[in-house]
Amino acid sequence: MSNSGQRNGKSAPKGGKRDYKKKFVKGNGLTKKKATPKKAADSNEIRLNKYIANAGVCSRRDADVHIATGLVSVNGKVVTEMGYKVKLEDEVRYDGARINPEPKAYVLLNKPKGFATTTSEQKGKTVMDLVANATSSRIKPIGRLGRNSTGLLLFTNDDKVVNRFTNSKKGVERLFHLELDKNLKLEDLKRIREGIRIEGNMVNVEEIDYVDNKKNEIGIKIKNTGNTILHTIFGYLKYELVRIDCVAIAHLTKKDLPRGHWKHLTIQEMNTLKMM
């Protein structure tokens, strides 16, 4: 009987020697299938349950339960998928309230002239350049100071503090030192103090007075987050603002904070700000 198709008394693999050699590597047994390269993980992504845990809401295990029950949304859409990944810039809300996994940071800057109050990189020199090394948390300025305005500007990533500033009923007081192109008439000062109607809208300030009896230098306290209201008031009364300097934000002042420098708020300063 012919031995063709046999080797060492055993049947050759189906398909003959050519197929056999394809399936075996000499001296090494079976060939190994090449592994498919894994897609590199995005270092900016984080599992949703970890994001929630890092924000101090609960443990990862409990976060999974909350996700499954539909209590968590990402960028406005409810997410119930386990293992879902989010980016740090995504808007994540738990039970309707926005959460943030970054440490809360509160930075006070004494802004110099020539820097725009914006987070945009298309506006030349901005206040973000001045606080770039203050913290790894993604802080933003509360309110605005014009490019040529100076003084205090507060940065934070704490939404609760931001809401205190932007709340139209409560707000947070800011004190400005203004220099006008001419003396402010006493009757105009009284009009501003009592509330002035501009284009059908009543514009009110908290306080206003002369500084050291200099008629062209004014101290004015407002609760608005921007300084547009200052231009509105004095422009309406035919005065030009030569200098705008924010000298205080609530209890925060420029003491020991030179122009162009920043500092982290103390625990006492933070607690006072949160209780306002």
pLDDT at 43: 59
Predicted TM-score of the model (pTM): 0.70
Kindly state whether residue 6 falls inside one of the protein's structural domains. no
**Count of domains observed in the chain:** 3
- CATH number of the domain bearing residue 230: 3.30.2350.10
Distance separating alpha carbons of residues 30 and 4, to the nearest angstrom: 24
Could you tell me if 237 and 111 lie in one domain? no
Neighbouring residues of 89: CB distance < 8 A, sequence distance ≥ 6: 138
- CATH number of the domain bearing residue 110: 3.30.70.580
Classify strands 262-264 and 201-203 as parallel, antiparallel or unpaired: unpaired
Kindly state whether residue 201 falls inside one of the protein's structural domains. yes
pLDDT at 34: 53
Domain closes at, from 54, 83, 99? 99
Give SS3 for 245.
Answer: strand
30 has a pLDDT exceeding 90? no
* pLDDT tens, residue by residue, 198-256: 999 999 999 999 999 899 999 999 987 778 899 999 999 999 999 999 999 999 999 99
pLDDT at 217: 97
Range of the domain at 155: 106-168+253-275
How far is Cα of residue 119 from the mean position of the Cα atoms in its chain? 9
Could you tell me if 83 and 207 lie in one domain? no
Could you tell me if 221 and 86 lie in one domain? no
Could you tell me if 113 and 158 lie in one domain? yes
Could you tell me if 257 and 244 lie in one domain? no
Could you tell me if 112 and 211 lie in one domain? no
The most confident of the ranges 27-31, 50-54, 184-188 is 184-188
Q: Which sign, positive or negative, has the C-alpha torsion 168, 173, 179, 185?
A: positive
Could you tell me if 267 and 163 lie in one domain? yes
Residue 45, classified by CB atoms within 10 Å of its CB into exposed (0-12), middle (13-18) or buried (19+), is middle
Distance separating alpha carbons of residues 150 and 177, to the nearest angstrom: 10
164 φ/ψ angles, rounded to the nearest 5 degrees:
-65, -35
